[in-house]
Structure 1
Amino acid sequence: MAGKKQGTSWRFFSTEMVGIVFAVILALWLEGWYEDFQRRERADDYLERIRVEVSQNREDLNSAINGTQENIDGIAKVFAGGEVTMGRLAPFLEIEGGSTTNSAWTTAQMTQAISEMPVETVTSLATIYDSQAYYAKYLNFFFQQYADLTIDMQSGNNTAMTARKFQQHLSISNSLARQLLQNYDTFLGINAEEAPKQEETAPSAKPSN
């Protein structure tokens, strides 16, 4: 009788242990699943923020491209129609840069949210923001040259040659901007037919003094 009772107790204890182990395993699995779910949710949230950021950057960049092209064309008309003077050039001596930002992308990197994003998406975004950084670097270089260029034009010495140089800077910045715009469109899924048509001017995208 005692042996039967002891066997029953052991089976009961074994069943309890199995139940406890199963509960622990289930709890750990649920915890891991929930953490994965939270990471994916966070990645989706940051990806949406990045998409909004890229869309806004694209809008600003497209406006800058159009403004820069107007200045390029304006300078060309000055050369085509008479004496090249500072007075005729002045309306077209503006730098349209656009206000591109990278805060959403930087934050996603800092929080490691990009580790939960598809590899092809991260690769595309890295290309976008690298291109954006190079474009901003060239604009900064152009801004640094701006005062010297305009002073040279205003002095009357080699006004035409300096105006050509200024026009070249505008063309290079627009070439870089169009490349960046194409990267934006690829990420956002905008077809070439849907994107605004731009007149092509694509000189070598290399800073020059």
Structure 2
Amino acid sequence: MKTILKKAVIPAIALSMVFIVPARAVEPPASGQAEAQQRQTPSREMAFQIPMNSYCSAENSLDFSFQLSNAADTAADLTVRFYNLDGTAFNAEGSSYREIQSSIVPGTAFRLKANATGTYHINFGNHKSCSERVYLGKITVNSGQASLLARGWVNANGTNGANGIVEQVTVNDNKAFHLATPPAGAGLGEP
């Protein structure tokens, strides 16, 4: 009986010891470290919506105004792009009047000086047709890094030029954001 007991109890005790020994942590593979580093690297691009789904005609035009500020003490190489409802690029130069400025040309790379602000303004319904309205914007850093602030508005003008509803264009909750080109050899494609 003792022999049978020894044959059954000793393996059971040994087996239970396996479950008591704590597991050892394993380092993530090198690819996991690369993915973690990519998450810490700033994005190259910031996308934002433009609230243009509103009545639009010559009598009820929509003014779109946008400003982009460089919050860094160094210049930034950037491109601002706007897209129509169907996703096609909108590259029309903006208009300047009554002290509303327009220095950014969509789809064209430009250098924004340290602590400077670039602006864009256009009217849909009078200056451009309502079918050309833009719904999406993207800010891309072309080289190096950038620390930026951006915002804008869409003004739905009422009949006879009376001011209507103003919708805010919010980029990153109106907080500064950082963009950077990927390091050489990162394998990321162009925007």
State the TM-score, normalized to the length of structure 1: 0.22
Normalized per residue, the structure richer in helix is: 1
Larger Rg belongs to: 1
Normalized per residue, the structure richer in strand is: 2
State the TM-score, normalized to the length of structure 2: 0.24
